[in-house]
Amino acid sequence: MATLLIQDPVFLQHHVPSGHPERPQRLEATDAALADARFAGLTRAHAPAAPLDRVLLAHDAAYVDELAKALPETGVVQIEADSYLSPESYAVALRAAGGACLAVDEVMAGKIANAFVAARPPGHHAERDRPMGFCLFNNAAIAARHAQNKRGAARVAIIDWDVHHGNGTQAIFWEDPSILYASTHQMPLYPGTGAPSEAGFGNIVNAPLAAGDEGEEFREAMTARVFPAIEKFAPDLIIISAGFDAHWRDPLAGINLKEEDFAWATEAVMDIADRRCGGRIVSLLEGGYDLTGLADSVAAHVAALMKA
């Protein structure tokens, strides 16, 4: 079975002020990398808009309404310290969430082996009732809830290797033992959460790294903390919050991973997924702000997924 790649030109229509790191050029870089002949075997699809009731699985109606009403007629408007809206941003965010849900549909139906969703804006900082850190809707949280509500997944594990802690995903599932949230991230760093003591109801696993850490420390954190927790949890589906800003070239953080480290992590998660959940993995792009580091890392990640 093939790997599904969800791409959509609509993701370029969420605009930010000049100089903002979470910019459309990120996806132009990943789309160019994934146009290479070695990715010809991918099944490709565009992203449908998520219906509102699906977004409300992870967000308050008042917040979603507020976001829709805050859209500017032209230009960009700031809605939070690091987050902006342009005229199409709400529609684009619905498509990012919808792409994640389509990936869940296809993987849970057994039509494809696994999936990668190359969407923006990212999602893991968005909380139930507020945008945060470039994120509008929490795509991973919406996808996990959709898998549970409509696609028969009782237990979903979310692995988050973005260099920033996914405070939004952690907060949304803090009291929910049917979801495991496991994260490696640089600490201290934005957003400030993610200490090992933050454990929810035993369903949150935080394995922070320190500035300057490299592949060796990343692999150790994954092997010692994250993977055993996933194995023990025995999920029906694994969602990866796949940020690539722990790459050594990334300007927003100080972890020094190479694309081989992301390929290694991908294959290790695939190995767990093969044994625990029929190989079912849905990977969602989060951060990654150096265009070369991002494109190379996404290529390594997707190439690994295609080995399924």
What residues make contact with Zn ion under the rule CB under 5 A?
Answer: 162, 164, 243, 245, 287
**Shortest distance in whole angstroms from residue 185 CB to Zn ion:** 8
Q: In whole angstroms, what is the distance from residue 50 CA to residue 104 CA? A: 12
**Shortest distance in whole angstroms from residue 237 CB to Zn ion:** 23
Are 117 and 284 spatial neighbours (Cβ–Cβ below 8 Å)?
A: yes
- For residue 114, give the nearest of 295, 300, 289, 269 by alpha carbon: 269
Considering the complex, state which of residue 127 and residue 245 has its C-beta at the smaller distance from Zn ion: 245
Q: Which residue has the tokens 């092997």?
A: 223
**Shortest distance in whole angstroms from residue 289 CB to Zn ion:** 8
Considering the complex, state which of residue 64 and residue 143 has its C-beta at the smaller distance from Zn ion: 143
Catalytically annotated residues: 125
**Shortest distance in whole angstroms from residue 290 CB to Zn ion:** 12
Residue nearest to Zn ion (CB): 287
Phi, psi (5° rounding) for residue 294? -65, -50
Q: In whole angstroms, what is the distance from residue 17 CA to residue 207 CA? A: 33
Considering the complex, state which of residue 24 and residue 278 has its C-beta at the smaller distance from Zn ion: 24
Q: How many residues does the chain have?
A: 308
* Residue 198 tokens, joined: 């933050």
Considering the complex, state which of residue 29 and residue 108 has its C-beta at the smaller distance from Zn ion: 29
Are 144 and 156 spatial neighbours (Cβ–Cβ below 8 Å)?
A: yes
Q: In whole angstroms, what is the distance from residue 146 CA to residue 161 CA? A: 22
